Structure 1
Amino acid sequence: MKLSIIKIGGNVIENSNELAKFLKLFANLDGYKILVHGGGKLATQLATKLGIESKMVGGRRITDAETLEVITMVYAGLTSKNIVAQLQANNCNAIGLSGADGDAIQAHKRPIKEIDYGFAGDVDGVNSLMISKLLDADLIPVFCAMTHDGNGQLLNTNADTIASELAIGLSDIYETTLYYCFEKKGVLMDVVDDDSVVKHIDVSKYQQLLNNGIIADGMLPKLENCFHALNQNVSKVCIGHPSMLHSENELFTTITL
């Protein structure tokens, strides 16, 4: 059985027209599927309105107690329910979840090393049996970027990581393909040329792109997640614009070992 796990980035979530187009594509996707979403920029906007400073280090959010409250409101509340309601309008019977719901994704608070990330969670495991029961009941799980530690503490967890860990955890049951959707068409050779897509990346090509500085900044952790998933039995990973979910679009990046 095949399973598609699709992570959608913040820039699409913030654009109501782009989000509506994506959710229609997602709803029409055949087979078992799971959606994972972020919402960091919306959380930052709400935090600013509430007079809470958003602290970032190396692109990662410092999640203090106040910020965790905002993230919970935005990720598990507003963004999640908006997405679920729109999927229902597309005849897609979705159910919004955090990692705490059904004990779906367990994590631990990230240990303090050079930086204290606060209530940031690193994933320990996925409750693949519970999630597969939802899929068998024709429910479409929609996961926000939150996990829990089993002791009552919610944790902010990177959405790319959640998507890859779900793909890994469910690869024992399904043939899983992981899709990272964002505003670009894929991994680009030239950041100013949207059509300069690298269509296939394997381990040797990845090393070559790294050495040449083509893969850098925010794409680095994304690619690290991709290869981590592939090394844990995920079938393949695709990166590109949401239109790659349409069978006629062939311009996106496929990553394999």
Structure 2
Amino acid sequence: MKTLKVVKIGGNIIDDDTALAEFLQGFSKIEGPKILVHGGGKLATKMAKSMNIEVKMTDGRRITDADTLDIITMVYGGKINKNIVAQLQANACNSVGFTGADGNAIVSEKRPVKTIDYGFVGDIKTVNTEVLEVLLKHNVTPVFCAITHNEKGQLFNTNADTVASELAIAFANLYQVELNYCFEKDGVLLDVDDPNSVIEDINTANYATLKAEGVITDGMLPKLDNCFHAISHHVSKVCLGKPNMLFNQNTKHTTIQA
């Protein structure tokens, strides 16, 4: 069975032109089928503030009203996605930019209101692999932003870590899937002020402890929840850390285990 690498980038890599260019050069050289998923929350936040649109977050997730959805569509699906695709083409990596609406690739529904109304935020229901599989077989790399749709004309903001996790799960019966979350740190840190305090292995048991002790909070919570969701649905490997871990397995990083 072939290996498929699903790679999600975010954090300061997206905001740093040099870091992004270096990452994309390396990513382009990865052999075999691969899918790239990107965030862009910091740039979206910056644009929202410049337009005097209030940014609301809860538990690391963005509250998305109509104005915020417009900004996310422009930033994620436009500026960031097309810039990444253009740079991949410059590195001889043929690629196609996607939202969930393109090719009907990722279908979601509006998150139900319980204690919090997240607005135009979608929870993924199905991933349609057919179109993506055609591209992968022809050495074309899909590049996904964090936007999905409901097949009724409505776009939704969807957590990029979730998009990566659900794509990995959807292909787990066709490939040996490796899911990688790349960001500016070497992995999950025991002490956020100590970049060398990488927790190299996290399993279900110590994850519960780390949450209870407040070591893992905010945006890292949904990221790790998605990691464990993937591992429990037959994704063969899940890692978090700097992009170097993609090219050198001896690079310090965090590995998620069942």
Q: Hey, what does 1:176 align to over in structure 2?
A: 177
* 2:126 partner letter: G
Indicate if the aligned counterparts of 2:59 and 2:219 stay in contact, CA closer than 8 A: no
The Cα offsets for residues 205-231 of structure 1, whole Å up to 9 and x where unpaired, read as 323433444323322221111111111
Name the count of aligned residue pairs: 257
Instruction: Note the residue ranges of structure 1 that are not aligned, 5 or more in a row.
Output: none
Give the AA of the match of 2:131. M
Q: TM (normalized to structure 1)?
A: 0.95
* Separation of aligned partners in 2, 1:20 and 1:151: 36
Which residues of 2 match residues 135-150 of structure 1 at below 5 A? 135-150=136-151
1:97–1:144 contact (8 Å) kept in structure 2: yes
Runs of 5+ consecutive residues of structure 2 not aligned to the other structure: none
Please state whether the residue corresponding to 1:34 is helix, strand or coil.
Answer: strand
TM-score normalised by structure 2 residue count: 0.95
1:71-82 matched pairs, under 5 angstroms: 71-82=72-83
| Residues 34-183 of structure 1: pairs in structure 2 closer than 5 A | 34-183=35-184
Q: Percent identity?
A: 57
1:198 equivalent in alignment to 2:199: yes
* Superposed CA offset, 1:106-150 (max 9, x none): 000111111111110000010112211110121100000000000
Q: Is the 8 A contact 1:243 1:249 kept in 2?
A: no
- SS of the residue corresponding to residue 238 of structure 2 reads strand
One-letter amino acid of the counterpart of residue 74, structure 2: M
| Contact 1:238/1:254 (8 A) holds in 2 | yes
Instruction: Kindly indicate whether the alpha-carbon contact (under 8 Å) linking 1:2 and 1:175 is maintained by their aligned counterparts in 2.
Output: yes
Single out whichever of 1-10 and 192-201 deviates more from structure 2.
192-201
**Corresponding residue number in structure 1 for 2:243:** 242
Aligned residues: CA RMSD: 1.4
Could you say what secondary structure the match of 1:243 adopts?
helix
Q: Which runs of 4+ in 1 moved over 4 A?
A: none
Per the alignment, in what secondary structure is the counterpart of residue 160 of structure 1? helix
CA displacement, residues 184-206 of structure 1 (integer Å, 9 cap, x when unaligned): 10012222221221222222332
